[in-house]
Homo-oligomer: A and B are copies of this chain.
Amino acid sequence: MMKSMASLQPDQQPHVDRLCDLATLSPGEIAALRAAARRARLVGARREILQEVTRVREPTIIVSGWAGRVRYFKDGRRQILHLLLPGDLIDHIPCDEPLAPTTIVALTDVRLAPAPIPAHRDTGLDRAYRLANAMELGHLFRQVARLGRFDSFERIADLLIELSERLRSAGLTTGDVYHLPLTQEMLGDCLGLTSVHVNRTLQQLRREGMVEIHGSMVKLLQPDRLRSLVNYQPLRVSGQAD
């Protein structure tokens, strides 16, 4: 236990793994991503990465840690609109105009790096970025469906699977085990539930032998049963070479 999470992927960085999983990158692009990580700035947990008002922003990539796009309400409650994981891009979607006010907050300590600019269109990196954006949209659709039509059990099951797949893409899983650094309250803010209800529902998932949770380690015991429960459709359709 001398080393923490880092030892899971000794030779690769999550954000590099993730983008390599999306497209075939050139050695130069990989080097650029690694170099960017060295210049990463650290944002502490609970701090805001992006305020509502910010206009000009630079394409940024999450090197490590989890963040969330959130919306706050009058009564102090909040909704996590969207989870941002290592390898995810922030504000890469082209838009010169001031957009909807959404804040991005670091849910854990986060390392952020400026996203390397692709040399030109249709380089591997460019394709990876565009795919990442498309997937972000897909995740948003899934989030809407979860909140709209799933009960608490299905919501959590669905999210646990989605996270497992997203983290796998970043090389952050070991089989069906991964590190989930969110409190039950954060999960609730993401899933439109109270932390109390998240707690009870997690117990139900454990009782039914679907998952094992020790501290922040999550193990999916019956991923296939979970997937069929929520009719899980992977985002990226088959037969996609690189």
Mark each residue of chain A from 119 to 133: 1 if its CB lies under 8 Å from any CB of chain B, else 0: 000000001001101
Q: Kindly state whether residue A137 has any CB partner on chain B within 8 Å.
A: yes
Q: Kindly state whether residue A166 has any CB partner on chain B within 8 Å.
A: no
Decide if A100 touches B137 in the complex (CB within 8 Å): yes
Give the CA-CA distance A102 to B240 in the complex, in Å. Answer: 18
Residue of B nearest to A122 (CB): B96
Are A99 and B144 also in contact (CB < 8 A) when A73-B149, A192-B149, A231-B73 are?
Answer: no
Are A235 and B99 also in contact (CB < 8 A) when A93-B137, A130-B94, A133-B93 are?
Answer: yes
How many A residues, CB 8 Å from partner?
A: 44
Decide if A144 touches B97 in the complex (CB within 8 Å): no
Give the CA-CA distance A81 to B233 in the complex, in Å. Answer: 16
What's the nearest-Cβ distance from chain B to residue A130, in Å?
Answer: 6
Q: Taking chain A's interface residues, is the majority helix, strand, or loop, or is none over half, making it mixed? A: mixed
Contacts of A114-152 to chain B: CB distance below 8 A: 127, 130-131, 133-135, 137-138, 140-145, 147-149
Decide if B147 touches A148 in the complex (CB within 8 Å): yes
Residue of B nearest to A69 (CB): B141
Decide if A97 touches B134 in the complex (CB within 8 Å): yes
Give the CA-CA distance A72 to B205 in the complex, in Å. Answer: 24
Give the CA-CA distance A96 to B102 in the complex, in Å. Answer: 28
Contacts of A155-192 to chain B: CB distance below 8 A: 191-192
Decide if B79 touches A134 in the complex (CB within 8 Å): no
Residues from chain B with Cβ under 8 Å of A233 in the complex? 100-101
Decide if B99 touches A137 in the complex (CB within 8 Å): yes
Give the CA-CA distance A96 to B121 in the complex, in Å. Answer: 13
* Chain A residues at the B interface, C-beta cutoff of 8 Å: 69, 71, 73-74, 77-79, 81-82, 93-102, 127, 130-131, 133-135, 137-138, 140-145, 147-149, 191-192, 231, 233, 235-237, 240
29 chain-A/chain-B pairs, Cβ below 8 angstroms: A73-B231, A79-B144, A79-B145, A81-B141, A81-B144, A93-B134, A94-B130, A95-B130, A95-B131, A96-B130, A97-B134, A97-B240, A98-B236, A98-B237, A99-B137, A99-B138, A99-B235, A100-B138, A100-B142, A100-B235, A102-B141, A137-B140, A140-B140, A140-B141, A144-B144, A144-B147, A147-B192, A148-B191, A148-B192
